[in-house]
Structure 1
Amino acid sequence: MKRVIVIVLVGLLAWQGYLKYQASRAENLVRQVSVDVEPSSGPSPRKSETVPSDLFKCDGRTHCSQMRTCAEARFFLQNCPGVKMDGNNDGIPCEQQWCK
C-alpha cells in the first residue's frame, strides 16, 4: 500500500513539474514574438499581444484563478467566449495576478 501511495505522489509531482515547464515554455515563446508596427498616432500595441494559438485552447476556463501565465490569460481573453478576466475592460487580463 505504501508503494502505491509513493508512486501516486511521484506521479503527481511529475505532472505538476510538466505543467510548470509548459507554462514557462509558453511564456518564453510569447516573449520571443515581436510585433513589427509602423509608428502611428495611436497607442502602440504591446509586444505580447500576439500569442501563438497552438499553445492554448479554449477549454471552458473563465477566471484568472484558473490561468497559469499572463500569456495564457491573454489568449483566453482574445479568443474564448464568456471569459471574466478583464474587470476594467482595458484589454489587459488578470492585472492583479499575472499581467502586472
Structure 2
Amino acid sequence: MTIQPLRSQSTSTSISTSKSASAPTYSCDGRTYCSQMRSCDEATYFLRNCPGTKMDGDHDGIACEGQWCGR
C-alpha cells in the first residue's frame, strides 16, 4: 500500500490572502470629511458610494481636491 502525501492548504490560503491584500476595500462607515480620509482612492470611493459626504465643494465629481485628489 502506498500513502499519497496530502496537499497543503496553506498554499491556497496564502494565495487568497495576497489577492485580497493587494486591493484595499472600503465601506461606508459614517466618515464624511476629507480630513477623515487617508487617500484619494478612499475619498473617491466615499464620494461615489456613501450618502452625506462633504468632499466635493465645487460639485465637479472630484473628491478632496485641496487635500488628496489635487489636479
What TM-score do you get using the length of structure 2 for normalisation? Answer: 0.65
Moved >3 Å (runs of 4+) = none
Query: Which residue of 15, 37, 41 maps to 1:71?
Result: 41
SS class of match (1:98): coil
Segments of 5+ residues of structure 1 without an aligned counterpart are 1-24, 30-53
What are the ranges of 5 or more consecutive residues in structure 2 without an aligned counterpart?
A: 1-20
Q: CA RMSD in A?
A: 1.8
TM-score scaled to structure 1, two decimals?
0.47
- Largest Rg, 1 or 2: 2
Residue of structure 2 aligned with 1:86, choices 31, 56, 63:
56
Q: Which has the higher helix share?
A: 1
SS at match of 1:85: coil
Q: 2:51 and 2:66 mapped to 1: Cα distance?
A: 21
Deviation of 1:73 after TM superposition, in Å, equals 0.2
Aligned length: 50
Is 1:98 the counterpart of 2:47 in the alignment? no
